[in-house]
């Protein structure tokens, strides 16, 4: 799979997947797929749900736009990440939105500061500075929602 980055033992993020990669994910033990792409996006695989489910994976699609992240939408995505059987594969077109959501999930559940989250994201190969608007949203969201440990 392209742009695959393992966040932790439960979450992996990727860019757009192909049908054979969904089968490969199932073979590797993944239990679910969360697609953050919108059906209007170029390259959106309209039959992805059928491919995922035929491979035995639970499938959810919640469209997220990089410039349209809100606390409410993020709450919805993070709740879905919590609910999905693990390990879960989260993807978008390039893995940036998927990475953002996965890291916000980990950070808020583990009581990380935004700085700790960005450090982990950088270690995983994400260039957080390449998307200043998204980085600012992540910092704000994690500051407000991170559980104090």
Task: Parse the chain into domains and list their residue ranges.
Answer: 5-145
pLDDT over 60 at 2, yes or no? no
Cα-to-chain-centroid distance, residue 132:
18
pLDDT in tens, 53-83: 999 999 999 999 988 899 999 999 999 999 9
Strand partners, 14: 91
pLDDT over 80 at 1, yes or no? no
Mean pLDDT of 112-121: 96
Spatial distance between the Cα atoms of 66 and 82, rounded to a whole number of angstroms: 21
Assign a CATH topology to domain 5-145. 3.90.190
Helices (H), the chain: 19-27, 48-54, 71-83, 96-110, 114-123, 132-145
Give me the pLDDT at residue 147, please. Answer: 81
Give me the pLDDT at residue 66, please. Answer: 86
Q: What is the pLDDT of the chain when averaged over all its residues?
A: 94
pLDDT in tens, 133-142: 999 999 999 9
pLDDT over 90 at 148, yes or no? no
């Amino acid at each position: 799979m392209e742009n695959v980055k393992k966040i932790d033992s439960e979450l992996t993020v990727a860019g757009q997947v192909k049908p054979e990669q969904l089968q490969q994910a199932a073979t590797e033990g993944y239990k679910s797929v969360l697609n953050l792409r919108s059906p209007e996006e170029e390259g959106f695989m309209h039959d992805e749900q059928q491919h995922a489910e035929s491979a035995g994976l639970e499938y959810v699609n919640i469209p997220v736009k990089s410039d349209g992240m809100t606390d409410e939408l993020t709450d919805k995505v993070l709740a879905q990440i919590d609910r999905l059987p693990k390990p879960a594969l989260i993807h978008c077109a390039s893995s940036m939105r998927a990475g953002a959501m996965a890291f916000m999930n980990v950070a808020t559940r583990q009581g990380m500061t935004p700085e700790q989250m960005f450090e982990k994201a950088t270690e995983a190969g994400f260039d957080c500075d390449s998307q200043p608007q998204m980085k600012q949203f992540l910092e704000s969201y994690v500051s407000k929602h991170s559980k104090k440990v």
